[in-house]
Chains A and B, each alone.
Chain A
């Protein structure tokens, strides 16, 4: 049994960007990086109104499927110099979109030994959010990998589409659209990782 109790979560409030965002924290790779992709979207409230002060944090493996972390046991898979795999993307006040530039992650193992489909882990916070919401972004064009993904198969089929990012532009870096919705029939699937 745990001997101490967790410190309760509180909202980041409207002014988190004073500390929790620095320029380029949403650029995980340099503009020159091969295989660079762009992901953008809105965080929508119950009325479908894009929030102006939400924060999306992302965590991902590199293109080879390796996490820069001491608990990733796959030391035979190379790290990418300079690539951490963490990003912070606040919603832009003018466009009401968040965006980040990164590389598509490689496949990582699931607890049952299968390969997970390429995915980004997202943590959504904001004013009016007393706790972080955890979700995942998958790529709609990875049909085969998605169909067998350890996490996606645990999501009711009718809701899986809320976790798919769609290619919307191939001019320059391929751009994927991923909106995060609170409430409504198309609410984004959020997870508790147990």
Chain B
């Protein structure tokens, strides 16, 4: 049976990170119980859900209002890979984000006095190709204020969701933009161990930028990979 590498504290934030206030009462207090992976965990919804999904990868037009969204038109592209560098092909990548003013098209948004873009719904989906490549066209989201602390602002970010091949490869993350001065002040970004933070910041890539059209950013996503196949003869097979 396959075994996926479990999440490591070197790669992921802790459940509780006091500077991000709402984690304090929404995090487990007991240590998680370690259990060997079973068929329930090495399978997962990714393959079947992805097979049913359709691409909806241009957020500048998918409001279908007849007008384009306002903002810095941007291409977000990258590869979804596993830890061994193998492409995660044919897998659904879903994103959601604020508009260029920092407003979310969500009914319960805590609003602030910035204009909402009526031509922007702020979410989309794209399936990776055989090389694991996804590609979205969108507008760069604006930073927005939040209630975590005095004068708190989230850096510009795009929320990414990938199911991956197994239950244990589930990943929801946020992609940030290079050079954002708000990154150094953001407790959600800073909850990630310092050596791993850079993986959440997209790279500006001029080879992705399209002349007279859009700026290009590259953001690769790495999911938990299958442990390199030990042979039963070697006696390292865990189950």
Contacts and interface: CB of A to CB of B under 8 A. Distances in A.
Interface of A: 1-20, 45-47, 51, 53, 57, 59-61, 67-72, 84-86, 93, 108-112, 116, 119, 121, 123, 125-134, 136, 150-151, 154-155, 159, 182-184, 187, 189-194
A19 B96 contact: yes
Nearest to A9: B12
B172 A191 contact: no
Given A15-B159, A194-B34, 16 more contacts: A1-B228, A4-B85, A5-B11, A6-B8, A8-B199, A84-B52, A85-B45, A86-B49, A121-B40, A123-B167, A126-B26, A132-B172, A154-B35, A191-B33, A193-B35, A194-B35
Please give me the 4 A-B residue pairs with the lowest Cβ-Cβ distance, nearest first: A128-B22, A86-B45, A2-B83, A69-B43
B37 A194 contact: yes
Contacts of A13: 159
B191 A47 contact: no
Interface string B11-46: 111110100111111111110111111111111110
B73 interface: no
7 contacts: A5-B10, A19-B125, A61-B40, A71-B39, A111-B38, A127-B26, A154-B35
B95 interface: yes
Contacts of B49: 84, 86
A150 B1 CA distance: 16
B123 A182 contact: no
A194 B15 contact: no
Interface of B: 1-2, 4-8, 10-15, 17, 20-30, 32-45, 47-49, 52, 81-85, 94-96, 104-106, 108-109, 121-125, 159, 161, 165-168, 170-174, 188-189, 191-193, 196-197, 199-200, 220-225, 228, 239
Contacts of A17: 106
A46 B27 CA distance: 8
Contacts of A9: 7, 12-13, 171-173
B161 A18 contact: no
Given A19-B123, A69-B47, A192-B33, A5 B196 contact: yes
Contacts of B12: 6, 8-9, 130-131
